[in-house]
């Protein structure tokens, strides 16, 4: 009971996290991860009273997920994740993009998981590099944007 209270009082910082792409070892260093959100579509019901009532529409999936966006310093040409992105663009005509499952883990100061999100059937839809600017002294960052089949918080 006391452990639960102490855990609930702890608000983890956002700078200590890891990313694991299924089948790719050693590709867990990213500077930023975004897209950990979803939206549930609802429709207001017209009923009397002071409280609003909502329902989930019966049409297509009522839950929409944002793209998962991973940022990191430009990786080597041997990067498995980079080669997967390239391979996906080269296989567009054969409709054979191979998806991967991705795990994003928020860590505590001891490196232990605080929260874990599991993304299914992810595949790259955009790859980009930040603009180059001779008046700035910053890292060259590549951004990989992934569509996915949804995510589940498992911790």
User: Quick check: 104 and 119 in contact, CB under 8 A?
Assistant: yes
Strands 113-129 and 151-153, sheet pairing? antiparallel
- What global pTM score does this model have? 0.83
List, for residues 110-147, the tens digit of each pLDDT value.
999 999 999 999 999 999 999 999 999 999 999 999 99
User: What is the pLDDT confidence band of residue 22, given thresholds at 50, 70 and 90?
Assistant: very high
For the domain spanning 9-153, the CATH number is: 2.30.110.20
- Residue 11 — very low, low, confident or very high, per pLDDT cuts 50/70/90? confident
pLDDT at 1: 52
Using an 8 Å Cβ cutoff, are 119 and 147 in contact? no
Q: Which two tokens stand for residue 62?
A: 């009522």
9, 13, 19, 29, 89 from 114: Cα distances, Å = 12, 10, 14, 18, 35
pLDDT at 148: 97
Amino acid 14: pLDDT: 86
- Domain parsing of the chain, residue ranges: 9-153
Note whether 27 and 81 are within 8 A (CB): yes
């Amino acid at each position: 009971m006391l452990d639960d209270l102490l855990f609930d009082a702890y608000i983890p910082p956002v700078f200590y996290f890891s990313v694991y792409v299924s089948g790719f070892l050693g590709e867990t260093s990213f500077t930023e991860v975004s897209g950990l959100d979803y939206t549930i579509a609802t429709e207001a019901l017209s009923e009397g009273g002071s409280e609003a009532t909502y329902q989930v529409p019966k049409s297509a999936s009522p839950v929409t997920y944002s793209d998962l966006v991973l940022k990191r310093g430009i990786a080597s040409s041997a990067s498995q994740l980079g080669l997967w992105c390239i391979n996906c663009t080269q296989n567009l005509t054969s409709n054979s993009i191979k998806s991967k499952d991705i795990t994003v883990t928020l860590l505590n100061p001891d490196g232990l998981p605080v929260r874990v999100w599991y993304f299914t059937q992810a595949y790259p839809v955009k790859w980009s590099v930040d603009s180059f600017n001779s008046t700035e002294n910053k890292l060259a960052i590549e951004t990989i944007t992934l569509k996915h089949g949804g995510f589940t918080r498992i911790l």
